[in-house]
Amino acid sequence: MAKMEITFEPMKNDLLLRAARGEKVERPPMWVMRQAGRYLPEYHEAKGNRDFFECCRDPEVATTITLQPVERYAGLLDAAIIFSDILVIPQAMGMTVEMLDKKGPHFPNPLQSPTDGQYAEVLGRAVDVATELDYVYKAVTLTRQRLQGRVPLIGFCGAPWTLFCYMVEGGGTKLFAQSKTWIYKYPEETKKLLHKIADICVDHLALQVQAGAQLVQVFDSWAGELGPSSYKKFSEPYLAHIAQKLPEKLKSMGLEKVPMIVFPKGAWYALDSACDLGYDVVGMDWLQDPAEAVKIRGDRKIVFQGNADPGILYGSKEGITEAVEEQVKGFWVGNKGWIANLGHGITPGVNPDHLKHFFEEIHRLTKA
């Protein structure tokens, strides 16, 4: 493939990039997971009656939605994250995924067992993300151009374990019955699939970087469904694989390494080893106490991201201020090592002004 040469405007705000590299910064950068989404009235307006994945596949629409929070919170928000979904990888692997209104993702034909023919098919299929997910890379490039250097653009993928859960459950779940059946009944077949997904994640992230993404995040939203020993077997090795292979892949494509963020949600017991996985930034949810996390990090040059309970945004402004004070007190040591965020995605029904207050308070309480 001929190397694409894309040039973009110089950065006007590169705070996130500097902080993610562990540099001393004037204030912590801030953004929130799912910042382009359902709590914003302009999101619903731009989406109209379109299907969710139809929006993802239309670079104009995906770009418009990505830019919405950047425009609404101009001067406060320090990143854009491309509007897409973690489930585009199972789609690229040949699985059908629909997004049902108010219900979330649905796979009409989830993987049943290693003896079901679909498993062999999915495992054996050569996946060319450059073709299958071409629309993501187009959206990344268009967004980066429209950003004109206002803030850096984050690319992302789902972690192998989390994607595996969706592929066998067929959608969201509370029980994880299928996922647990697979790991405890068919551990070797599970690992083969996790390995395959991890290689596709590397390709997908590398192509997002080539298209213009300046940092990447791996979302392991269901890491916390595993206990410490099963996490070591079924989640962590594949997160480490991505961290090791992505820089190699970028190098082979003639591209520079970008900061990498890992978010193993719920795996609070593995924070210490998450700091040694090869990522620059470790994201955490609100089950982790900020000051305690900083103690566990010790003198390692890892940057933390998080971790306010998204639920604070349903409460009062005073409550938000209180939560921010706790975050700042715990995480903001020596003007480095923290990217302010929520501990998970912002939820529907939140008043967008409450998110503004969250950002303003971080700004106020950390200004030099």
155 touches ligand 1CP (CB under 6 A): no
Instruction: CB nearer to ligand 1CP: give 76 or 99.
Output: 99
User: Which residue number is nearest to ligand 1CP in terms of Cβ?
Assistant: 172
Instruction: CB nearer to ligand 1CP: give 105 or 110.
Output: 105
164 touches ligand 1CP (CB under 6 A): no
Instruction: CB nearer to ligand 1CP: give 290 or 345.
Output: 345
Distance in Å, CB of 199 to ligand 1CP, minimum? 20
106 touches ligand 1CP (CB under 6 A): no
What is the distance between the alpha carbons of residues 367 and 15, in angstroms, rounded to a whole number? Answer: 13
Instruction: CB nearer to ligand 1CP: give 119 or 219.
Output: 219
183 touches ligand 1CP (CB under 6 A): no
Q: Which of 107, 137, 156, 161 binds ligand 1CP (CB under 6 A)?
A: 156
Q: Which of 30, 61, 79, 86 binds ligand 1CP (CB under 6 A)?
A: 86
What is the distance between the alpha carbons of residues 332 and 368, in angstroms, rounded to a whole number? Answer: 11
Distance in Å, CB of 101 to ligand 1CP, minimum? 7
85 touches ligand 1CP (CB under 6 A): yes
332 touches ligand 1CP (CB under 6 A): no
Site for ligand 1CP in 11-70 (CB under 6 A): 33-38, 47, 52
Instruction: CB nearer to ligand 1CP: give 80 or 328.
Output: 80
Site for ligand 1CP in 221-240 (CB under 6 A): 221
99 touches ligand 1CP (CB under 6 A): yes
Site string for ligand 1CP, 119-148 (x = CB under 6 A): ------------------------------
Instruction: CB nearer to ligand 1CP: give 85 or 280.
Output: 85
Total binding residues for ligand 1CP by CB under 6 A?
21
Distance in Å, CB of 26 to ligand 1CP, minimum? 25
- Work out whether strand 281-284 and strand 338-342 pair parallel, antiparallel, or are unpaired: unpaired
- Closest residue by Cα to residue 176 from 221, 229, 217: 221
Distance in Å, CB of 94 to ligand 1CP, minimum? 18
As a three-state string, the secondary structure of the chain is CCCCCCCCCCCCCCHHHHHHCCCCCCCCCECCCCCCCCCCHHHHHHHCCCCHHHHHHCHHHHHHHHHHHHHHCCCCCCCEECCCCCCHHHHHCCCCCEEECCCEEECCCCCCCCCCHHHHHHHHCCCCHHHHCHHHHHHHHHHHHHHCCCCCEEEEEECHHHHHHHHHHCECCCCCHHHHHHHHHCHHHHHHHHHHHHHHHHHHHHHHHHHCCCEEEEEECCHHHCCHHHHHHHCHHHHHHHHHHHHHHHHHCCCCCCCEEEEECCCHHHHHHHCCCCCCEEEECCCCCHHHHHHHHCCCCCEEEEEECHHHHHCCHHHHHHHHHHHHHHHCECCECEEEEECCCCCCCCCHHHHHHHHHHHHHHHCC
Contacting positions for ligand 1CP (CB under 6 A)? 33-38, 47, 52, 81, 83, 85-87, 99, 104-105, 156, 172, 219, 221, 345
